[in-house]
């Protein structure tokens, strides 16, 4: 198969962390329409393929696998890995040559896996797809090293701004007009806090959760026209003017008492709960959880995340997927990947279930046209980004990471050490 070659970087250091028999029951999502030829690239000969994904994405993975198995001779055997066990399981399997055919991982961890040679290169295959430029780029970029591509989007999640319309009405704010700048965010959060309602705060954030912070704060920096990392992912740029203004907004809100109790200790375990409980005015939020807040009875306003003085962006998060270095069924695994990003699959499996599609031209579709949350996603995703760095998890997401220390110092402690703390993040990124 042209272009398929195992990425050759050494594995040293990666130690940190059912099919439906009735094939006629479900129409083949690759049949009919202009993309069938592209979607059928590879081999569909009845091979059993193995796939690993982490537990938070079990629902999405199960839907995709069920649809594929019902419409193909190949059959995918899915294994769900507990989130906290994923790193160690992948590390052990990589060392022993036992990785599955199809491997999915957190998009911010994928660059490290690619650097360590865990995936088969699929540059030519991705390039041959007639809709390649329509695919959300973040998950492809995360798996690209020196121009060699290894991954496609598996599940896409984005960050958005949400506000409680009932609390906005009580505070005299327009419930249909969320913040369009971070200065407006500050004003609106303060207005809700000034209600002095028991248990209600202006805003809330994961002050001890690196993953929460990058997911929701990086977009404001991008929307402001600045970068968070150097192009090669080895230098932190989080001491920029826009970044410092962002930290200052939260420092001021902390000083005024507008930040919810528990933010300083929040590790991410209960990060979304205060808003779902109706106790937060406005905050950045995962798009995938907005529906749960609505189901909880919150009258939710949703908008893209603004920059300091305007603009919008989002963090293109979720998981990317590629063919592992250990796969003996590369042609068959590519058949699955090409099918996964085809128009029919993205519409009939992904969009139909209410998930965010990975094709920009399909963001507005028959399943989401009346969904205001989907409309926000369609607006935000084209301006979205995915930061790429081999040591991203260690620099940002890990407990006690230098990034978490920087944010805590800047927003809770007011130590005025952003420049020095930013250098500490760079030290980890450049190791």
User: pLDDT tens, 375-386?
Assistant: 787 778 888 888
Q: What does the pLDDT look like over 372-420, one tens digit per residue?
A: 777 787 778 888 888 988 899 899 998 899 999 999 999 999 999 999 9
pLDDT band at 137 (very low <50, low <70, confident <90, very high): confident
CATH fourth-level superfamily of 159-315+387-429: Periplasmic binding protein-like II (3.40.190.10)
Q: Do 159-315+387-429 and 5-156+318-362 fall under one CATH topology?
A: yes
Sign of the C-alpha dihedral, residues 54, 58, 64, 68?
positive
Strands (E), 324-417: none
Mean pLDDT of 321-327: 98
Sign of the C-alpha dihedral, residues 115, 116, 122, 124?
positive
Cβ-based neighbour number of residue 13 at 10 Å: 11
CB distance 1 to 331 below 8 Å? yes
Question: What is the residue-averaged pLDDT of the chain?
Answer: 89
Q: What is the pTM of this model?
A: 0.79
pLDDT band at 269 (very low <50, low <70, confident <90, very high): confident
| Least confident piece of the model among 33-37, 92-96, 389-393 | 33-37
CB distance 373 to 295 below 8 Å? no
Exposure string over 290-318, b if 16+ CB within 10 A, otherwise e: beebeeeebebbbbbbbbbeebbbbbbbb
pLDDT at residue 314 in the model: 93
Question: What's the start-to-end Cα distance of the chain, in Å?
Answer: 35
pLDDT band at 40 (very low <50, low <70, confident <90, very high): low
- Taking the C-alpha atoms of residue 316 and residue 312, their distance in angstroms, rounded to an integer, is 13
Domain boundaries, the chain: 5-156+318-362, 159-315+387-429
* CATH code for the structural domain at 5-156+318-362: 3.40.190.10
């Amino acid at each position: 198969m042209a272009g398929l070659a195992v990425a050759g970087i050494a594995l040293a250091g990666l130690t940190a962390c059912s099919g439906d028999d009735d094939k006629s029951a479900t129409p083949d999502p690759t049949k009919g329409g202009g993309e069938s030829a592209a979607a059928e690239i590879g081999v569909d000969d009845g091979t059993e393929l193995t796939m690993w994904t982490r537990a938070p994405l079990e629902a999405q993975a199960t839907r995709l696998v069920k649809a594929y198995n019902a419409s193909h001779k190949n059959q995918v055997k899915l294994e769900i890995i507990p989130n906290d066990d994923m790193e160690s399981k992948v590390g052990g399997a990589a060392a022993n040559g036992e990785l599955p055919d199809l491997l999915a991982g957190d998009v911010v961890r994928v660059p490290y896996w690619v650097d360590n040679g865990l995936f088969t290169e699929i540059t030519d295959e991705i390039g041959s797809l007639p809709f390649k430029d329509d695919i959300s780029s973040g998950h492809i970029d995360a798996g690209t090293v020196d121009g060699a591509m290894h991954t496609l989007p598996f599940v896409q999640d984005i960050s958005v701004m949400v506000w409680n319309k009932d609390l906005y009405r009580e505070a005299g704010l327009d419930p249909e007009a969320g913040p369009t700048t971070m200065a407006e965010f500050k004003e609106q959060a303060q207005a809700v806090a000034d209600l002095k309602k028991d248990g209600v705060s202006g805003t809330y954030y994961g002050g001890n959760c690196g993953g929460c912070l990058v997911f929701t704060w990086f977009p404001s920096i991008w929307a402001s026209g600045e970068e968070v990392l150097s192009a090669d992912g080895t230098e932190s740029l989080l001491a920029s003017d826009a970044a410092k203004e962002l930290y200052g907004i939260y420092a001021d809100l902390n000083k005024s008492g507008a930040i919810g109790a528990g933010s300083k200790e929040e590790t991410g375990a209960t990060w979304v709960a205060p808003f779902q409980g109706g106790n937060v005015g406005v905050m950045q939020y995962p798009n995938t959880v907005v529906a749960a807040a609505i189901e909880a009875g919150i009258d939710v306003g949703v908008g893209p995340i603004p920059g300091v003085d305007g603009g919008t962006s989002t963090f293109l998060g979720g998981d990317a997927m590629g063919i592992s270095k250990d796969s003996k069924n590369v042609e068959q695994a590519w058949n699955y990947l090409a099918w996964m990003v085809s128009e029919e699959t993205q519409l009939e499996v992904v969009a139909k279930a209410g998930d965010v599609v990975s094709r920009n031209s399909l963001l507005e579709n028959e399943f989401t046209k009346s969904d205001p949350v989907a409309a926000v996603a369609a607006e935000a995703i084209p301006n979205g980004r995915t930061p790429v760095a081999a040591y991203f998890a260690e620099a940002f997401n890990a407990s006690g990471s230098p990034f978490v220390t920087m944010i805590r110092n800047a927003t809770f402690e007011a130590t005025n050490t952003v420049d020095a703390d930013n250098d500490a993040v760079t030290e980890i990124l450049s190791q």
